[in-house]
Structure 1
Amino acid sequence: MLKNAIMGFVGAAAFLSAAPVAAQNITADLDQIADVLQDEGYKAKIDEGDGQRWIESAMSGYTYIILPFGCDDAGNNCKSIQFYVAFVPTNKPTLEEMNTYAAENRFGRVYLDDEGDPIIEMDLDLEAGGMSRELFLDNLAYWDTIMVAFGDFAFSKDPE
């Protein structure tokens, strides 16, 4: 009886070790995120300055950055990331137009910076184990959609 139990345990252990390894969740690790973006065919360059790191990437004709947040003092173990892009149209939207846009669009946080340039940001909480690659890519697709829509809005008053 004991021999059968041991053999069953050994067989189960062999089965578990032969099982495929679960996919690694995406966390707020910039190196990991840059690898995922590159695997998907996007540009992803890690830049550094003033003790900060970020990713510069691009899609749909726009360059944007990914910033880490909630990191420890060494800049590691970050908890979230933020997609960020600033547009510089010739004819900038007014605060009233920005407020209307924000009220009518669910995803993305929009505002005017100190120079009146329209900004859009989107945060992802990657704390507590992160998210699956599929969900991360789904959020990346959302970012692309809202970034393009906001870019169309931001440049809507510029001559073509």
Structure 2
Amino acid sequence: MKRLVHALWALPLAAQAASADVIASDPDSVLKVLRDQGLAATMETDDLGDPKIVSHLTGDSNTEFVVLFYGCTDNVDCSSIQFYVAYDMKDPVTALKMNQWNREWLFTKATLDDEGDPGLEMDVILADPGIDRKLFKTTVDIWQQSIDAFEDYIDW
């Protein structure tokens, strides 16, 4: 896990601010990077009318996840996103198990619904001026690695 932290922060700060290619106020910029990473992704809207991207991991799991947009004004001009995936388990998962995940993993947060089904989320601030593609691609890589590890962790 420490390698993920070092990989994210190893990017020079000047490169992060050089060109803001990905910004929440332009949901298509997020969609484009997901597709460039080889993920199937489609733009939709959530129940409030805000943008929402539905995507799938590639490979054996083909896990579906969503990218939700937050801090939106009148369903546009959003300031952050949240990657989110949920699982419908046969047997409930304990809060103790989710807390253990949260103590050991950076960037992602494990949650439980009322039925004991786990979820995983990762918040990303993409307010003006946004971030460059390289850093956002690293963020997407961290999300994908976290899903793979989380699915092993919950015996999915």
Q: Give the partner amino acid of 2:84.
A: Y
Task: Report which stretch shifted further, 97-106 or 114-123.
Answer: 97-106
Please state whether the residue corresponding to 1:64 is helix, strand or coil. Answer: strand
In 1, the alpha carbon distance for the partners of 2:102 and 2:37 equals 30
Find 2:35's aligned residue among 38, 57, 66.
Answer: 38
Q: Give the partner amino acid of 1:67.
A: L
Equivalent residue, structure 2, for 1:48: 45
Identity of aligned residues (%): 37
Find 2:23's aligned residue among 27, 50, 58.
Answer: 27
Q: Does 1:140 align with 2:140?
A: yes
What is the number of equivalent residue pairs in this alignment? 134
Q: Please say if residues 42 and 55 of structure 2, whose CA atoms lie closer than 8 Å, have aligned partners that are also in contact.
A: yes
Segments of structure 1 that go 5 or more residues without pairing to the other structure are 1-21
TM-score with structure 2 length normalisation? 0.78
In 1, the alpha carbon distance for the partners of 2:36 and 2:150 equals 26
In 2, the alpha carbon distance for the partners of 1:138 and 1:62 equals 19
Equivalent residue, structure 2, for 1:63: 64
Which gives a bigger RCO, structure 1 or 2 (Cα 8 Å, sep 6+)?
A: 2
Deviation per CA, 1:94-133, whole angstroms, max 9, x where unpaired?
1111112211222301110122110110011111311000
Shift of 1:135: 0.3
In 2, the alpha carbon distance for the partners of 1:90 and 1:53 equals 31
Segments of structure 2 that go 5 or more residues without pairing to the other structure are 1-17
